[in-house]
A and B are shown apart, each in its own frame.
Chain A
């Protein structure tokens, strides 16, 4: 049992629940702004819509009521059933990029400056057509990678701020998903659907992508951390999601954690130092913890939240404090997952 190898101490933390109004559903995919000032999260009613909210966080507490992000054409005074706003990605200088669609519309990428103007479509259909998804920014924020269904094949495209142009990264007959930049701002890791499962690939700025990791089941939502790639895999079967790491240059994969609670949409979360990954457990006996496992396998810390079915963790350091956000059920059998924030400085 992998938990037997845990070297950690267990800490307990009291989390603050962030409440919102106007949308009933599961809180999901909370993402901190780089300065720890804002928290974007989704609310999914598992039926006909996914909303996105934005809340300002001050010393671990919500500074006001979370504001629902309304894209143009949607209005809070009209029903927004069927609308979709998800996958928040923070630019290092403050703006938020996310994917969204009005009811029955095409998913496009949107831009929002928190506290400023309302969302605006980020790339026009003249620049790139089709449904756009999986936005992700380069570390310096000057490039944006995403997928487009313009050709019907789900290809990866890049937008470069310097040229104000969108260009295809590469094309294949299989759909690509979840592209992410590595630290050089050029290399991309992503998953590609092939023969019913997803495999990992690397694209190094030109030419064709090269396989990074295949095997049983899906290998998905990779994220570059230094010279390593962390990803989710269900190679042990559909009901068992594990967290694995593989060298960016290729090689054997190492399982970091087994039976994790697979986040709805996000890539693996990383601590602010970039040395460990965060996750929740799908095992009922340990689903009250947020686990922090070192990438080199040297140990795992556990943060006891006192809640149930903990998942979707994200962490940020701001003003000398370290803040953890996650979603959880307040008790077994509760209707909706709630959003929580806790100070884990020193833990």
Chain B
């Protein structure tokens, strides 16, 4: 149970840029208010306060909650002028919000009432909300052209729960996003299905969730994929030819592509990018001894490669797996650790390379941005040319289509 004196949110919010922006804005406003001159309410404000409260009571006695809500908002304006609101003000405001289905506002007002006067009534009320409602953040994806209502699989019995769904649907039916509280249970918005769990948060992107729902009316949709990461690449020892010895090193691998979901689970991905590394001069794990051998100034082994990757993708819960053929074209430079027989100097060798192979990725979605997600992924693969194998691995951050609105 959450104490009414505590201002912590209902659930630990997952950090999304949207929420981060909200938090930063809130902090900015708090900081700004710290420099504001302190307001003091006068007799006029006190008289208006009393009048508004009495009206609220009369409205409440007639279950005229829109009137209570309106007056409570006017009280909040008085509060900005320094008038101190009472427990009853906030409690009636909370009841109005409950009757109108705005359970997020109801909860906030109850917390404010509890700050004025902790009471079992408020504690019980809050515990009731926290045990019955979950936080939702519902947005519409690009494929959702029209608004649609959230339909509970089993409509609730409690009046505030039914009203909370009605309240959310006034926004959703107009294709407006809704952030607030909904009763725990299973819902569908068109083809998008999702579950609300009491005391937990869920983010839903309507339309994209056709993937999650597995609906039969799937429509292909796609999005840009951007990946960047730190890689380790190795050029294995040559099977033949004058350049012997393996080399490799750490580098950067970055790419941009387009992913198309062709079914609720499967997709295709095309991506091009840069793959490179820089390593110490030498081969087979031995560095060049420039004191023993004369030669050019010390240099480093390098790979500068442009690549193209075509992959099939599959999505399983929060994971996305991709695998497919990979091609790289570029140049490589290597300085052998020792000159060849009879030679007295070492020189870097450079060559154009054309590589073919297979690449794969496993991404785990961290946070969502509308229909996109930021994922942490492990990628790897191996390419071949006429002389050697080029295996590589990468730890990457990827911005990619989530194709999952209802998980």
Contacts and interface: CB of A to CB of B under 8 A. Distances in A.
A111 B159 contact: yes
Contact of A113 (B92, B98, B158): B158
A91 B157 contact: yes
Interface string A112-129: 010111101111110000
A34 to B, nearest CB: 14
A123 B58 contact: no
Interface in A146-194: 161-164
A105 B61 contact: yes
Contacts of B156: 161
Contacts of B135: none
Contact of B99 (A93, A113, A120): A120
A217 interface: no
B94 to A, nearest CB: 9
A116 B57 contact: no
A120 B58 CA distance: 16
Contacts, number: 69
Contacts of A113: 128, 158
B158 A118 contact: no
A344 to B, nearest CB: 31
A51 to B, nearest CB: 16
Contacts of B92: 72
B159 A120 contact: yes
Interface in B119-165: 121, 124-125, 127-129, 154-160, 162
Given A120-B99, A164-B155, A74 B128 contact: no
Contacts of A95: 157-158
A145 to B, nearest CB: 14
B395 to A, nearest CB: 49
Contact of A116 (B62, B125, B159): B125
B63 A125 contact: yes
B155 A73 contact: no
A258 interface: no
A73 B60 contact: yes
Given A117-B160, A141-B157, A108 B129 contact: no
A73 B124 contact: no
A159 to B, nearest CB: 10
A102 interface: yes
Interface in B62-121: 62-63, 88, 92, 95, 98-99, 121
A117 B99 contact: no
Given A161-B157, A164-B155, A117 B98 contact: yes
A256 B361 CA distance: 79
A121 B159 contact: yes
A121 B61 CA distance: 11
A72 B159 contact: no
B63 A163 contact: no
Interface in B178-215: none
B392 to A, nearest CB: 58
Nearest to B155: A164
B174 to A, nearest CB: 19
B63 A124 contact: yes
A102 B58 CA distance: 10
Interface residues of B, number: 26
Interface residues on A, range: 20 to 34
Given A72-B95, A113-B128, A161-B155, A118 B60 contact: no
Contacts of B60: 72-73
A75 interface: yes
Contacts of B61: 72-74, 102-103, 105
B57 A120 contact: no
A164 B163 CA distance: 10
A124 B125 CA distance: 21
Interface in A217-250: none
B335 to A, nearest CB: 76
Contacts of A115: 124
Given A72-B61, A75-B88, A108-B63, A116 B128 contact: yes
Contacts of A91: 157
Nearest to A162: B155
A123 B95 CA distance: 15
A101 B179 CA distance: 34
B159 A118 contact: no
A117 B122 CA distance: 8
A118 B121 contact: yes
Nearest to A122: B159
A108 B99 CA distance: 14
B88 A73 contact: no
Interface in A78-124: 78, 91, 93, 95, 102-103, 105, 108, 111, 113, 115-118, 120-124
14 contacts: A73-B63, A74-B61, A93-B157, A103-B61, A105-B62, A111-B158, A111-B159, A113-B128, A113-B158, A116-B125, A117-B124, A117-B125, A120-B99, A120-B160
Listed from nearest, the 7 A-B pairs whose CB atoms lie closest are A73-B61, A116-B128, A73-B60, A102-B61, A117-B125, A117-B128, A72-B60
Given A73-B57, A102-B62, A163-B155, 19 more contacts: A72-B61, A73-B59, A73-B61, A73-B63, A75-B88, A91-B157, A93-B157, A102-B61, A105-B61, A111-B158, A113-B158, A117-B125, A117-B128, A118-B125, A123-B159, A161-B156, A161-B157, A162-B155, A164-B162
